[in-house]
Structure 1
Amino acid sequence: MPETTPPEPTAEPAARPAAKWRIPLVIGAVLVGTVIGYAAVSSFKRPAGDLACTGAVDLAKKIAPLAHGEVAALTMASTPLRLPDLSFEDANGQPKKLSDFRGKTVLVNLWATWCVPCRKEMPALDSLQTKLGGKDFEVVAINIDTRDPDKPRAFLKEANLNNLGYFSDAKAKVFQDLKNIGKALGMPTSVLVDAKGCEIANIAGPAEWASDDAIKLVKAAMQPAAAGL
């Protein structure tokens, strides 16, 4: 932008305050600026988080070296965070909540048939459920198609993906709930959750969940659940 010259004043400038007032005015301005600056910095501090979830952060640090190769894009939890108690439906249209899976390590995945990377990722999620699904772990893949409820079911059937449980949220509120806490930036999105409902890691975008890298990381994340902790 070219420099501009301020218009010439049309009146005589106001008289300057007497010298004895200058120092207090300057000091007052500095103090006000300091207070505002401190308030601004304080407002951007990360929240302390849910102290009951500190174990998930410790676990995230422990398994972080395994987040490489096919799962290198995982972001490990650094602040204790309990996920919202996400609400959705099962294959029979019955209400389900994330808290229904307490005691298990859970990979929450949001997907839709209109999302090409989601469709490509689903076979790997189905394979992960086949290999590790059980009393200590489950893939909870929640479909958020909002128009045709038969389309995602047909996709899973045609792709022969029979090991994933079918969960859905036709209002896509689960996506908004995760977006509100900064854990859903696009589709697909996945969050690895411990047995208490606390975040261990998250990823924006697809991952090769059937790979050896993913299997090793998920198994390591499952250890506290398997031990009943």
Structure 2
Amino acid sequence: MELEMSLRSVIALLLLTGALSACDRQSAPKEQANGSAEITADEVAPDEVKDSAAGDGEGAFKYTLDRSKAGTPAPDYAFVSPDGGDATLKDFAGKPLLVNLWATWCAPCVAEMPTLDAIAGEYQAQGLQVLTISQDNQGAKQVDPFFAKRKFTHLKAWLDTENRFSLGYGTGMLPTTVLYDAEGKEVARVIGAMDWHSKEAKALIAETL
């Protein structure tokens, strides 16, 4: 009995650690799977992750750095621009690019977004483009209220309601961030949430630039 209880405690701890580091795509709420229920900005993760960008939410920032696909050309998946038009990554060719896949229901995604907003401004003059592409199936209906509430300075609401990027990148986790150099070749991908203020993140950005 004691052994069984110990095993259950270990499993619970591992599940909690995984929940803090990234969101399994299969953990998406039922509303994400079938698109049948309305979710408002007040119902999603942002207010559950307090002050993580200030450094006291360290547990929210855990990731794996993957260089196995370095040198791979950027894909041509179609997605939706903030003005409702069609876009592909080819529209951003010629400058380094950071593509972040996230969702409103993913707490680690939300935790890192203020840091992404900050580096988008910090590196803008050096040509870095930061695209936060939502994987929410309800698209603007779900994402626009989120952005209106958070009032990001540099990030915009790009949408991928068909989850082409999640399926194509195949990491099975959100957030996933992929960096491309000015030639459109992959530098590295970050699986999980990274504090983009950190030295490790800035070194990765410098490599991309």
Residue number in structure 1 paired with 2:127 = 136
Q: After TM superposition, where is structure 1 displaced by more than 6 Å over at least 4 residues in a row?
A: none
In structure 1, the partner of 2:166 is 175
For structure 1, which runs of at least 5 residues remain unmatched after alignment?
A: 1-69, 223-229
- Aligned with 1:103: secondary structure? coil
Aligned to 2:8: none
- Deviation for aligned residue 1:219: 2.3
Report 1 or 2 for greater relative contact order, CA contacts < 8 Å, sequence distance ≥ 6: 2
| Aligned counterparts, 1:72-221, within 5 A | 73-77=64-68, 80-134=71-125, 136-147=127-138, 149-179=140-170, 184-221=171-208
Cα gap change, 1:88/1:147 in structure 2, threshold over 3 Å: closer, same or farther?
same
Larger-Rg structure:
1
SS of corresponding position for 1:74:
strand
Identity among equivalent pairs (%): 31
Amino acid at match of 1:178: Y
CA distance in 1: counterparts of 2:103 and 2:78, whole angstroms? 17
Q: How many residues of Structure 1 are paired with residues of Structure 2 in the alignment?
A: 149
C-alpha displacement of 1:71: 8.7
Q: Partners in 1 of 2:139 and 2:76 — Cα distance?
A: 25
Instruction: Give the residue type in structure 1 aligned to 2:89.
Output: L
Shift of 1:77: 4.4
Amino acid at match of 1:215: K
Deviation per residue, 1:63-110 (Å, 9 max, x gap): xxxxxxx89732234653113112111111111100111111111110
Normalised TM-score (structure 1): 0.59
Q: When the two structures are superposed, what TM-score results if normalisation uses the length of structure 2?
A: 0.65
* RMSD after superposition: 2.1
